[in-house]
């Protein structure tokens, strides 16, 4: 091993030369907070189109003045924004590990409002308020509405560096699915907190968990942009 060291060192020198010759100008990556608004506009635009296509719920006007509905929806949207921002920040080296905690607060608020909602439903309706019936359509709708945002966010993440692929992809899917759930509640007549918590938020969390499992395979260092 000792004898071939100079050869390897020479190979490294040659590679440095090749890389520095090939290092053309690149478009620097804007910080996450400047990239999220564009993504959000696109995701919400797609969501509005889907709501329009499926048809909004008939009691939408009532819902829009209901503080609890607004709080739950606000928390879902805040979770989506925070998760998208954290995912983008995780692909920038040296951004600091604190970024991964950004979605914790809105996420807790989201789960908290729904948890409180369960208690309130129970107080108002008794056991009926905590009855769980299957609602598989939620999963499909959330996946459908989240599909375009997640593809766009994935392409944005590819411009960065896959430093923590599992967490990054899980956050990206969380952000997109949260947008899906946000939109879902504008046309899906389901406000029982436990049902929302289990079937809707449950679907979002399941998708994020699956993304975490596949993260290392999907987000990887690419060979693109390398000199031959």
Partner 1 sequence: MGNADVEDMVQDILLSLHRARASWDPTRPFLPWLVTIARNRLADNARRYARRNALDLAVRDITETFCDVPTNGGAESVVNFLAVREAMNSLSPTERRAVELVRLREMSLVEAAEESGSTVAAMKVAVHRAMLKLRTALRAKE
Q: Which is nearer to partner 1, 35 or 188 (CB)?
A: 35
Inter-axis angle of helices 104-125 and 67-90, to 10 degrees? 160
Asked if 1 touches partner 1 (CB under 8 A), the answer is yes
Among residues 116, 130, 161, 167, the one that binds partner 1 under rule CB under 8 A = 161
Question: How many residues of this chain bind partner 1 (CB under 8 A)?
Answer: 31
| Listed residue (85, 130, 119) closest to 103, CA to CA | 85
Among residues 11, 41, 132, 189, the one that binds partner 1 under rule CB under 8 A = 11
**122 burial class (0-12, 13-18, 19+ CB within 10 angstroms)?**
middle
Asked if 23 touches partner 1 (CB under 8 A), the answer is yes
For residue 8, the minimal CB distance to partner 1 (Å) is: 4
Asked if 228 touches partner 1 (CB under 8 A), the answer is no
Question: What whole-number distance in Å separates Cα of residue 138 and Cα of residue 151?
Answer: 20
Give the footprint of partner 1 on residues 166-225 (CB under 8 A): 221-222, 224-225
DSSP 44-109: HHHHHHHHHHH---TTHHHHTT-HHHHHHHHHHHHHHHHHHHHHHHHTSTTS-GGGGGTTHHHHHH
Give the footprint of partner 1 on residues 80-109 (CB under 8 A): 91-94
- Of 66-74, 98-106, 158-166, 192-200, the segment contacting partner 1 by CB under 8 A is 158-166
Among residues 31, 37, 45, 126, the one that binds partner 1 under rule CB under 8 A = 31
| Listed residue (194, 73, 185, 189) closest to 122, CA to CA | 194
| Listed residue (146, 184, 178, 177) closest to 57, CA to CA | 184
- Positions touching partner 1 (CB under 8 A) are 1-2, 4-5, 8-9, 11-12, 15-16, 19, 22-23, 26-29, 31, 91-94, 159-161, 163, 221-222, 224-226
């Amino acid at each position: 091993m000792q004898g071939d060291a100079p050869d390897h060192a020479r190979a490294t020198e040659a590679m440095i030369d090749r890389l520095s010759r090939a290092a053309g100008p690149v478009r620097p990556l804007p910080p996450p907070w400047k990239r999220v608004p564009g993504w959000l506009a696109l995701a919400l635009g797609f969501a509005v189109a889907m709501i329009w296509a499926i048809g909004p719920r008939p009691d939408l006007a009532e819902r829009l003045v209901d503080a609890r509905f607004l709080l739950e929806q606000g928390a879902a949207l805040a979770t989506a924004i925070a998760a998208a921002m954290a995912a983008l920040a995780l692909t920038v080296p040296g951004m600091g590990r604190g970024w991964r905690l950004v979605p914790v607060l809105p996420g807790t608020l989201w789960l908290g409002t729904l948890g409180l909602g369960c208690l309130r439903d129970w107080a108002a309706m008794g056991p009926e308020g905590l009855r769980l019936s299957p609602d598989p359509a939620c999963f499909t709708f959330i996946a459908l509405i989240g599909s375009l945002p997640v593809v766009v966010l994935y392409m944005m993440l590819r411009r960065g560096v896959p430093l923590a692929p599992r967490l990054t992809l899980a956050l990206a899917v969380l952000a997109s699915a949260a947008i899906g759930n946000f939109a879902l509640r504008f046309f899906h007549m389901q406000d029982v907190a436990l049902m929302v918590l289990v079937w809707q938020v449950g679907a979002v969390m399941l998708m994020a968990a699956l993304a975490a499992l596949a993260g290392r395979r999907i987000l990887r260092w690419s060979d693109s942009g390398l000199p031959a």
